[in-house]
Structure formats: structure tokens, C-alpha cells
Amino acid sequence: MSISQAIEKVEARYAHQPEFIQAVKEVALTIAPLYDAHPEYETFKIFERLIEPDRVIGFRINWENDKGEVQVNRGWRVQFSNALGPYKGGVRFHPTVNQSVLKFLGFEQIFKNALTGLPMGGGKGGSDFDPKGKTDNEIRRFCYAFMRELHQYVSKDIDVPAGDIGVGGREVSYMFAMYKNLTHEYGGVLTGKGVGFGGSLMRTEATGYGAVYFLENMLAAQNDSMEGKTVLVSGAGNVSLHAAEKANMLGAKVITVSDSQGTLYDESGFDQEKIDWLKKQKEQSKPLADYVEVFGGEWLAKQKPWKFKGDIAIPSATQNEVDEDDAKLMVENGIKYVAEGANMPLTAEAVDYVCLHRVHYAPGKAANAGGVAVSALEMSQNSVRQYKTFEQIDERLKAIMKNIHDCAAEASEKYGQTDNGYINYMAGANIVGFKRVADALVAYGILN
């Protein structure tokens, strides 16, 4: 079955899973030069195999709210591919979670994890549980109930979940506690654990910092740097605020963050004091809009950040947050670099638009791989039962992000995707990630 036939099959079989189709098509349409150069991939039906997860585990989660009322949610774990290591990927708690979203995330995770060069397969999990407005007791009861189901399917050598939207250090700790309670095993089953009971230093910062390290490499490839650049960030969660923090540390000026309620604009830029305030505010689930009373700036209810002028955009909230109209605004407003902090924040049309206008574009599976890379470092620290310093992890993270950048850039050149100095990071990253997984699958024969 050719790649185009495989796409047709996915479209017919999973017509009700648009995000999954979108993620599959992006990979399919960019790996053709690699596929053509490796006839064994077709013989072994590698693409056809990789678009079907090893398994999708679904379950029901019963839990009790503070009023003692029984609540019912749905949960899943998509174990996509363990060709390169244990299934690895985050857990998302958000009302929009469904199988399409988790399959797109799990599919991308296979290639992202391969790009890190560390031994991890790809997976993703989550629930349609909405953490908004829930008390700490309710979050705890939900996390316990979620892991009561999930624990049967995961372990440090089988499948290692972590955080994602709606799941941070607090939730991982509750889930880890339940896993330990049920299995009597104190190991590296989840990453993003608290530092002091198995967590790695820098895991919290890793995705946002890593995205900015990736940007530094993109800029360096154009003889440019972060210094003095104006940056638009979307989202105000873990990835966004750490991306803003690192960009600020490197001398750039971040003028926007946002959340599901709107955009916060501060033309003087978010310095460390303001970022610390934002972190605290979001941690307490309080409105971003309160910022204006404390520091000034402007709150734009129900608006996105892309109407402002800038050099760099780091969309870091959620999938498909940037549509073609937003991409047009970015180009009009002078954006020259887009690094995806979130997974698939640009629609396919938005990607086409920015690339057509020669905006340097780093897809999430390359730019936001720093989080899962430090998760892999957490797994290895758990295995040897020794911990590295913040500086040691930071050095590793920088080296990993540089390596991902350089491998993607080289593949773009090698497979004829670089056009007059314009590097196609999407094609490069997909080719490198896909090749690593495909070569392992060919070596295994037809198992996996």
C-alpha cells in the first residue's frame, strides 16, 4: 500500500477523527523523498503499520465530588508504538479530550521521542475530566480514581505517562502515590514527579526552555540571535510561561501571553518579576486580567495575541489555535520565526501560509521535544538512583535541542527540501524521526 493509499484508508476509517487525520497527513506528505529512497519501508508496510496504534485502552472513571455525588468520566491510554522504548507521553485532563486528540498526540509523540535520540516509544493518555473549578480534594480523588484504572497498563519498562494540559506536578504526585499504593513499586513509572521523591530537576522548565533553545539554533542558522527580539507567546501554562522566562533571560522582550479567556499585552515586556506573578496567578486559577491592575498593560478579552507586531511567535496553548487568518496576521506583523511550544498549534493551512511566506517554522515535535527529553533523563536517573544537578540537565537539554535542530536541518538539505537557505524543519524533523522508527521496525521483521 502506497502512502497515498494509506492516507485514503485513514480518512475513510477515521473520518470522525480530524486531528488524527491532520497529524498523519503532515507526516505522510513530508516523508515521500525518504520513502522513495527506501523500498524496504514499502515492503514491510511501515507507514501502514505506524498509522494504527498498538492498542487504545479505554476505561471509565468513577469518582465522588465534594458534595458526595458520583461523577463519571472517560479515560484512555493510546499505546502507539514501542519500537524504540517503553511507550512514553503525557496525560491530558481537558473536556476536549477524545480519541482523535489522543491519537494525534500519540502519533506525533512517536517521532518527537525518536528525535530526542533517547530510548522511548510513543503514547498519550487522558480524560475528558475538566479540572476547572474543582477543589484540591476533588482533583486528588479524580487522580486516584484515574490511576486506579490506568495502573494495570503502565510500568517503568512498559509505559511511562507524564503531564500535559491540566496535568502538572500536583496531579502527577497524586497519580504516582496511587500507583505505588497499588503495586508496591517505587520506580520511574511517571515523569514530572516532585523533586525530592524521584523527579528530575528542570523537568518543569524543560519544554519551554527547550523551545527557546531550539529557536536560538534556528536564529543562529540565519546568523541571528534572540537578543532584542520581540516575542509573542500564547497560553499561560507550563510551556508558555517557561518559554517566556527563557526568552526574557536571553535578552528578548515577550509582550503577550494568553489563556482560554483572552490575551494579556504588555508593551514593556514580561520581566522575571511579572512572570513569577503570572505563574502564581495561574497556579491559583485566578484571572490573567488582574495583571493590569498590578502592572498595567492591556487585557483583550476573547482575543488571540497575533494582532501585535513581533519577530518571533511561540504558540504554546493547544492544537489548531492558529488558523490561516492568524497566520496572515503573523506575516503582516513581521513575524520571521514560529516555534511550536504546543502540539500542532497551527492548522495545516496556517503552516502552508507561513512556509509560503518563508517564515522559519519549527513543528512541535522538534521544538517542544525538550520536555519529553528531560523526562527520559528522569527515567534514567530513577534507574540508577542518582540525581544530576540543574546545570547538568540544562547542558544536556541544550545539547539535545541543538542535535534535533541540526539533524532536521541536515535532513532537509539531504532530501532536497531546503530552498535557497530556507530550511524545511517540518520535512527534516519528520524524515529523521520516521527513519529512526522505520529502521527499527524493519530490523524487527513483522513484529511490532
The residue from 236, 244, 379, 423 that contacts ligand NDP (CB under 6 A) is 236
The residue from 17, 191, 316, 382 that contacts ligand NDP (CB under 6 A) is 316
Which of ligand 2IT, ligand NDP, none lies near 260, with the C-beta cut-off 5 to 8 A by kind? Answer: ligand NDP
Nearest residue (CB) to ligand NDP, 310 versus 345: 345
Which of ligand 2IT, ligand NDP, none lies near 89, with the C-beta cut-off 5 to 8 A by kind? Answer: ligand 2IT
Task: Give me the catalytic one of 124, 180, 253, 304.
Answer: 124
CA dihedral 193, 199, 204, 210 (to 10 degrees): -130
Count of positions (residues) in the chain: 448
* Nearest residue relative to ligand 2IT (C-beta): 90
Interacting residues with ligand 2IT between 165 and 224 (CB under 6 A): 191
Minimum CB separation from ligand NDP for residue 239, in Å? 4
* Cα distance between the two ends of the chain: 18
The residue from 368, 412, 418, 424 that contacts ligand NDP (CB under 6 A) is 368
Nearest residue (CB) to ligand NDP, 261 versus 448: 261
The residue from 75, 125, 163, 198 that contacts ligand NDP (CB under 6 A) is 163
The residue from 73, 234, 375, 424 that contacts ligand 2IT (CB under 6 A) is 375
Active site residue 246: no
Which of ligand 2IT, ligand NDP, none lies near 88, with the C-beta cut-off 5 to 8 A by kind? Answer: ligand 2IT
Minimum CB separation from ligand 2IT for residue 372, in Å? 4
Q: Does 117 bind ligand 2IT (CB under 6 A)?
A: no
Q: Does 89 bind ligand 2IT (CB under 6 A)?
A: yes
SS (H, E, C) the chain: CCHHHHHHHHHHHCCCCHHHHHHHHHHHHHCHHHHHHCHHHHHCCHHHHHCCCCEEEEEEEEEECCCCCEEEEEEEEEEEECCCCCEEEEEEECCCCCHHHHHHHHHHHHHHHHHHCCCCCEEEEEECCCCCCCCHHHHHHHHHHHHHHHHHHCECCCEEEECECCECHHHHHHHHHHHHHHHCCCCCCCCCCCCCCCCCCCHHHHHHHHHHHHHHHHHHHCCCCCCCCEEEEECCCHHHHHHHHHHHHCCCEEEEEEECCEEEECCCCCCHHHHHHHHHHHHCCCCHHHHHHHHCCEEEECCCHHHCCCCEEEECCCCCCECHHHHHHHHHCCCCEEECCCCCCECHHHHHHHHHCCCEEECHHHHCCHHHHHHHHHHHHHHHCCCCCHHHHHHHHHHHHHHHHHHHHHHHHHCCCCECCECCHHHHHHHHHHHHHHHHHHHHCCCC
Stretch of 88-96, 146-154, 175-183, 241-249 contacting ligand 2IT, by CB under 6 A: 88-96
The residue from 53, 85, 125, 237 that contacts ligand NDP (CB under 6 A) is 237
Which of ligand NDP, ligand 2IT, none lies near 305, with the C-beta cut-off 5 to 8 A by kind? Answer: none
Q: Does 200 bind ligand NDP (CB under 6 A)?
A: no
Which of ligand NDP, ligand 2IT, none lies near 428, with the C-beta cut-off 5 to 8 A by kind? Answer: none
Q: Does 235 bind ligand NDP (CB under 6 A)?
A: yes
Q: Does 102 bind ligand NDP (CB under 6 A)?
A: no
As annotated, the active-site residues are 124
- Which residues bind to ligand 2IT, rule: CB under 6 A? 88-90, 112, 162, 164, 191, 343, 371-372, 375
- Which residues bind to ligand NDP, rule: CB under 6 A? 96, 163-166, 207, 235-240, 259-261, 316-318, 341-343, 368, 371
